Amino acid sequence: RVDLPEDSPAAQSFIEQTPLRRITTVDDCADVTLAVASDLFGDITGQVIPVEGGNHLLRLP
Query: Residues 26-52: pLDDT tens digits?
Result: 999 999 999 999 998 888 888 899 999
Q: Is the dihedral of CA 38, 3, 24, 45 positive or negative?
A: negative
pLDDT of residue 31: 95
Q: Is residue 41 packed enough to be buried (19+ CB in 10 Å), middle (13-18) or exposed (0-12)?
A: middle
pLDDT at 3 over 80: no
Residues in the chain: 61
CA distance 33 to 57: 21
The residue extents of the domains of the chain are 9-52
Question: Is 70 exceeded by the pLDDT of residue 8?
Answer: yes
Give the count of beta carbons closer than 10 Å to the beta carbon of residue 2. Answer: 7
